[in-house]
Amino acid sequence: MNKIVNHLPTAELQALDAAHHLHPFTDGAALNAKGARVITAADGVTLTDSDGRTMLDAMAGLWCVNIGYGRKELAEVGYQQMLQLPYYNTFFQTSHVPAIELSAKLAEIAPEGFNHTFFATGGSEANDTNIRMVRHYWATKGKPTKKVIISRENAYHGSTMGGASLGGMKGMHAQGGLPIPDMAYIGEPNWYNQGGDMSPEEFGLMRARELEAKIEELGVDNVAAFIAEPVQGAGGVVVPPETYWPEIQRICDAHEILLIADEVICGFGRTGHWFGTNYYGIRPHIMTIAKGLSSGYAPIGGSMVCDEVAEVINNGGDFAHGYTYGGHPVGAAVALENIRIMQEEKIIENGAADTVPYLAEKWAQFNDHPLVGEVNIVGFMGSLVMTPDKSARAKFSADAGTVGMIARGHCFDNGLVMRHVGDRMIISPPIIINRAEIDQMFELAAKSLDLTLADIKAQGLYK
């Protein structure tokens, strides 16, 4: 394989990066003081940086490289599509082959009754589409007051004005005048941190019933939709108690509102099924898709809508909304190839039968680690909650994230990319990860946790 190796030395790349590149979700001054880690190549589950060091990518980039790095077929399809038709749009009564074929393919793999997709270039844009689409849907049905979208604290639905408003992250709302009007929030089903003396089952029901209370408080005539990730990803891989989704579904069925499942992380195999909706048996009206749709090889996202919503939107006159690059031919062609490979190689089915249970068994062993208070795993997404006192589900005396940051540093130093959300460590590896790589990931994570424990004991942060 031809590898591009003749880049500038790391220090020079870092200096240019510091001089000219503003980074997302980053404290720029802190980054520039130490220099960014520059990733130059990847294959399978392994990243290579500008110094030639390799690391196991337990985050699949940003939860997206489901099929793993280095699949030549995706590169080839992107190249051929660029030669044949690098760009055309689907506005104003035109279409193109990749968008047509991808929308048909998505209808084939999605849950029953999902036969239409409105394309975007990523998850944030797709969620912006959802805001406008659900309000337009109700207005078209003669109910223009149904505008409020209910979401959850600590949810992540993207970073545009709409996406970040749908999200429930306080740190994001604090910047840039968010949220936009007509958003409401209920609590997250985070039993470990918020469940107190309740059992997980009781707590799950209680959190779900906050949705019903919120609908009643706002008046159902004012509520358009409820949006949620089947499993909260960026919030820290918060797996809801088993009672949660059935109760949410009951409430959505009982009241006239739309249910939006944000499948941007959960979709395309992450839960060991095609969609998180399949995993939980949820029946949403809209599903947001992106990330694993193209395994991150090209930007593409979209809103999949159920037949009822599609019918109303199709017959509601001009839907005055769209993105220049929505359903981009290259992104759509790459996504199709990604799905073709997932289907032909039975990547999701094989994973569900073999590596999903194997990973779950390995991950559960962290229950015995003195630093770990709770272990969560669904399919290929997992979290470890670190605590100074297991039995009390206690928090550290240091600011949230202090210990997470230390652990993340040890992971990097040991050649493992694992992210921290506060004091939770999270994984979301490529779903093609094999048993040997799972073993390696587990060993590196265990070693990093041991080193973290030693550090925080020395700093007086443990017990």
Ligand X SMILES: *Cc1c(COP(=O)(O)O)cnc(C)c1O
Query: Which chain residues interact with ligand X by CB under 6 A?
Result: 122-124, 127, 156-158, 229, 233-234, 262, 264-265, 290, 301
CA 51 to chain centre: 29
- The smaller minimum CB distance to ligand X, of residues 299 and 404, is found at 299
Nearest to 225 by CA among 315, 122, 305: 305
Q: At its nearest, how many Å lie between ligand X and the CB of residue 221?
A: 28
- The smaller minimum CB distance to ligand X, of residues 236 and 388, is found at 236
Q: At its nearest, how many Å lie between ligand X and the CB of residue 302?
A: 11
Q: At its nearest, how many Å lie between ligand X and the CB of residue 237?
A: 11
- The smaller minimum CB distance to ligand X, of residues 210 and 262, is found at 262
Q: At its nearest, how many Å lie between ligand X and the CB of residue 311?
A: 26
- The smaller minimum CB distance to ligand X, of residues 45 and 234, is found at 234
Could you tell me how many helices (H) and strands (E) the chain has, helices first? 18, 15
Q: Give, as one character, the DSSP assignment of residue 238.
A: B
The 10 Å Cβ neighbour count of residue 172 is 18
- The smaller minimum CB distance to ligand X, of residues 50 and 428, is found at 428
The two tokens of residue 224 are 């358009």
Q: At its nearest, how many Å lie between ligand X and the CB of residue 158?
A: 4
- The smaller minimum CB distance to ligand X, of residues 56 and 265, is found at 265
**Strand, coil or helix: what is 436?**
helix
- The smaller minimum CB distance to ligand X, of residues 157 and 420, is found at 157
- Sequence-distant (6+) residues with CB within 8 A of 284 are 259, 260, 261, 277, 306
CA 149 to chain centre: 20
Closest residue to ligand X, judged by C-beta, is 123
- Map tokens 């017990």 to a residue: 463
- The smaller minimum CB distance to ligand X, of residues 262 and 423, is found at 262
Q: At its nearest, how many Å lie between ligand X and the CB of residue 286?
A: 13
Q: At its nearest, how many Å lie between ligand X and the CB of residue 259?
A: 15
Whole-number Cα distances in Å, 130 to 173, 256, 313:
19, 17, 12
- Sequence-distant (6+) residues with CB within 8 A of 424 are 236, 237, 383, 384, 385, 386, 404
Q: At its nearest, how many Å lie between ligand X and the CB of residue 124?
A: 3
Question: DSSP assignment of 163-210, as one string?
Answer: HHHHS--HHHHTTTT-SPSSEEEE----HHHH-TTS-HHHHHHHHHHH
Cα dihedral 377→381→385→391 (10° resolution): -10
